[in-house]
Amino acid sequence: MPTASAKDASQIKDTIIVEKELYGSARIPIDSYEQDQLIIALEDLISSVRVSTYVPDPSWTCFMPDGIPPPELGNEIFEISLKYSTCHDVGLTKFGQRYQYDINGGEVKGERINATILDGGLDYELVLSNGSVEVEQINIIRTKDNNTPILMRNAGVSPLREVPVRVVLDFEAPNSSSYNWLNSGKFAATRIIDTAAKTIKMKVYDISTVALTQSRTLIKDPEDVPNQTWDCVKITGRQGQSVFTENVALGNSISIGASKRGSRNIIPITGGTMSGRVNGKILSGGADYQLSGGLDARYTLETNDGEFIIVRNCGSGALIPVFETKTDGPYSYLNENKYLSSAPGMSGGGVSITFYEAE
């Protein structure tokens, strides 16, 4: 009786394996082709991703946890053009590779709204270790017809940095204004950056009647890094040793008033200094986006030795700061969520804030 043996050599065929970055791979038996006229078609993964529904990671849902359809399937209603002065390379932080675009103006153009984008806005881009991208944008709009102020805070994702970020837009307009339709709309756009012109453009579509496509692209954050958070962070403790103090310069407040999340008042941050274990200046940009008594300040520090520290200091009753800076930099200790903030105190036309270690 013959014994079992390895696969018969006659069944083994020489195979060509073709791979190209951002394309699907192919395995082709050599005897299927004329050797001098070999043509192999690969699937363009980027094209297939662009027409799929993005299902974001649960930590960064972009207001649409079930999925974000291609914006172009909706009805175009206006276009946003943001101008930026600088893109800061913050470095590899605890969340990923961080970039910050300083917005210094722009426009909103459409049939139902025409407006300007105020200076001091922010566009935060985070590139994760698996290549996916998360974006947050915070800007203030002022309409051209009656100077109505509107807060725009958007969230976006992309499965690959080579694919433009898909953004879901969220607006807070005064309930009593003619722009309150923005509060309940469902809007999405594709974020296009022109580094030569220093612009970020988005054609905005109403996707309220768009169904999710059958093709899905699941976006999953790496498991070995902490997630950035959309909401304020909460920790407990009491104030211990002082770390550093800020003297923050402020602009004129912008009152949106009663809107969909409560009463919103915005105080722009125009500069300032810090001293203590961290010395340097506060960049002009960002604001304290106060909501019904709670503070939510977003801004950036530049130290005397050239490092950037992104700050979010927020809470109702007690302020909890979250710092983000390079993990291999001299201020990496700030990345730990173990700090508390004093309440802001009046100081020289602005406010003074001291940060403490939590005990």
Distances (CA, A) of 227 to 127, 166, 285, 303: 12, 19, 24, 25
48 against 279, higher pLDDT: 279
Element (H, E) at 47: helix 45-50
The predicted pLDDT at position 317 comes to 80
Please tell me which residue, 13 or 130, carries the higher pLDDT value.
Answer: 130
**239-358 CATH pick, 2.10.10.90, 1.20.120.790, 2.40.160.20, 2.40.40.20:** 2.40.160.20
Mean pLDDT of 305-331: 97
Pairing of strands 216-218, 53-55: parallel
Per-residue tokens: 81: 């053009």
Q: Which residue has the tokens 């390895």?
A: 6
Please, which pLDDT band fits residue 2 given cuts at 50, 70 and 90? very low
Task: Judge whether 278 and 301 are in contact, CB under 8 Å.
Answer: yes
pLDDT of residue 7: 42
pLDDT, average across residues 182-208: 98
Q: Given this model, what pLDDT does residue 25 score?
A: 60
**Is residue 4 helix, strand or coil?**
coil
The neighbour count for residue 340, using CB atoms within 10 Å, is 22
Q: What is the mean pLDDT of residues 197-220?
A: 98
Diameter of the chain measured on Cα atoms: 99
- Share the mean pLDDT of the chain: 92
pLDDT tens-digit map of 39-72:
555 555 567 788 999 999 999 999 999 999 999 9
Region 4-8: what's the mean pLDDT? Answer: 42
pLDDT greater than 90 at residue 188: yes
Interatomic CA distance for residues 161 and 108, integer angstroms: 26
Residue 10 confidence (pLDDT) = 46
Condensed to tens digits (0 to 9), the pLDDT of residues 339-348 reads 999 999 998 8
Least confident of 29-43, 90-104, 143-157: 29-43
Distances (CA, A) of 284 to 126, 215, 289, 298: 21, 43, 15, 11
For residue 290, give both structure tokens: 């106060």
The more confident residue out of 293 and 28 is: 293
Q: Which residue has the higher pLDDT, 349 or 295?
A: 295
Q: What is the pTM of this model?
A: 0.87
pLDDT at 47: 72
- Round to whole Å and give the CA distance between 322 and 231: 11
Q: Answer whether 48-218 and 239-358 agree in fold.
A: yes
Model pLDDT for residues 128-178, shown as the tens digit of each residue: 999 999 999 999 999 999 999 999 999 999 999 999 999 999 999 999 999
Looking at 65-219, list the stretches that DSSP marks H as alpha helix, in order from N- to C-terminal side: 181-184
pLDDT at 46: 66
Q: Are strands 15-18 and 166-169 parallel, antiparallel or unpaired?
A: unpaired
Q: Which residue ranges make up each domain of the chain?
A: 14-43, 48-218, 239-358
Calpha distance 115→182 (Å, rounded): 13
Neighbours of 215 (CB within 10 A): 11
**What is the percent of the chain with per-residue pLDDT over 90, rounded to a whole number?**
83
DSSP β-ladder status, 239-250 and 53-55: unpaired
pLDDT category at 316 given cuts 50, 70, 90 is confident
- Identify whether the C-beta of residue 353 lies closer than 8 Å to the C-beta of residue 239: no
Helix (H) or strand (E) holding 46: helix 45-50
Instruction: Round to the nearest angstrom and report the end-to-end CA distance of the chain.
Output: 79
**At 35, is the pLDDT very low, low, confident or very high (cuts 50, 70, 90)?**
low
CA atoms within 13 A on the CB side of 17: 0
- Under the banding of pLDDT at 50, 70 and 90, the label for residue 3 is very low
Look up the CATH architecture of domain 48-218.
Beta Barrel (2.40)
